[in-house]
Amino acid sequence: MANTTSWSDKMLHLLRRMNNFYSPGSSRASCFRFEVAGEHVGWIPPKVASILAGFPEVFNTPHSGAISLCHALDTYGSRSDAIDTVLQTLRQDSTLTCLKGWRDEKYQVMAKFCDAPLMCMERSATSLFGVKRYGVHINGYCRDESGEVRMWLARRSPTKQTYPGLLDNLAAGGLAAGISIKHTVVKECEEEACIPAYIAEKARPVSTVSYTYEDEEGVFPESQFVFDLELPPDFKPRIGDGEVQDFYLLPIDEVKGLLVTEDFKPNCAMVVLDFLIRHSFVEPDTEPFYQEFMAGLHQTL
């Protein structure tokens, strides 16, 4: 029998999958709040909580549904160093598969992005503590002679640690500790797509996309700072640092169709959906799940 599931249904399914931590039956009810200096900064799954109990010099015994750092760890540096020591030990635990992708890249930890960071931790370990990860995603597009919008998509390298070979935004990257959002945008454009800084600096901040999902590696609350970059019609991105294997310039209808396939990295599909909504390629009069789409793109804990 032919698959008659509509584009709208498939997109709604994707959004629900990327927000499955909020769904009935998720692990949220059994997770421990991760608290630092009295601030709720993450969610620790039960499996991870039992492992952390082996480090009483760093973590307090769970209390009232929360796991916190020992009170003696009262500075950014002491907390970061203590967590790093724990994680270096946990790298030997083969059951913690996320740590096999160790990046030597630190992410800031704070309750809200506007707050001062309380500590930092290795990027690959953030899902063990369910701390929010921030990144930047750049929608690259141009207009042809008739004014029709076309979008640049990247195909990830087959050797990428995560989602190898899938379609992606023109450029994207995590927000490392101490690096500004705009600097990250320019850096990722240059490194991944060989876009000169004088062009990349024209990228406009237009939105954020936020979601929380869980899988066998932990809890992933993520928020992406979204930028639109209109490129000159004759400009062609080129492979830079090897994280991308190819670039494609596609009509919007084709991009829209690809979003709901297994060929597209899920969170990048969300970023493109946000673009389609903002540029009126998806409208409330014709999209039955318009409000559900909007809610699914902006879920925050």
* The three-state (H, E, C) secondary structure of the chain, written as one string: CCCCCCHHHHHHHHHHHCCHHHCCCCCHHHCEEEEECCEEEEEECHHHHHHHCCCCCCECCCECCEEEECCCCCCHHHHHHHHHHHHHHHCCCCCCHHHHHCCCCEEEECCCCCCCCCEEEEHHHHHHHCCCEEEEEEEEEEECCCCCEEEEEEEECCCCCCCCCCEECCEEEECCCCCCHHHHHHHHHHHHHCCCHHHHCCCEEEEEEEEEEEECCEEEEEEEEEEEEECCCCCCCCCCCCCEEEEEEEEHHHHHHHHCCCCECHHHHHHHHHHHHHCCCCCCCCCCCHHHHHHHCECCC
Q: pLDDT, tens digit, for every residue of 169-225?
A: 999 999 999 999 999 999 999 999 999 999 999 999 999 999 999 999 999 999 999
pLDDT at 1: 42
pLDDT at 86: 97
Q: Please provide the average confidence, as pLDDT, over all residues in the chain.
A: 95
pLDDT at 173: 95
The pTM of this model reads 0.94
Q: pLDDT, tens digit, for every residue of 40-50?
A: 999 999 999 99
Domains delineated in the chain: 7-21+133-296 (3.90.79.10), 31-128 (3.30.750.160)
Q: Kindly give the parts of the chain with pLDDT less than 70.
A: 1-3, 301
pLDDT at 3: 54
pLDDT at 300: 83
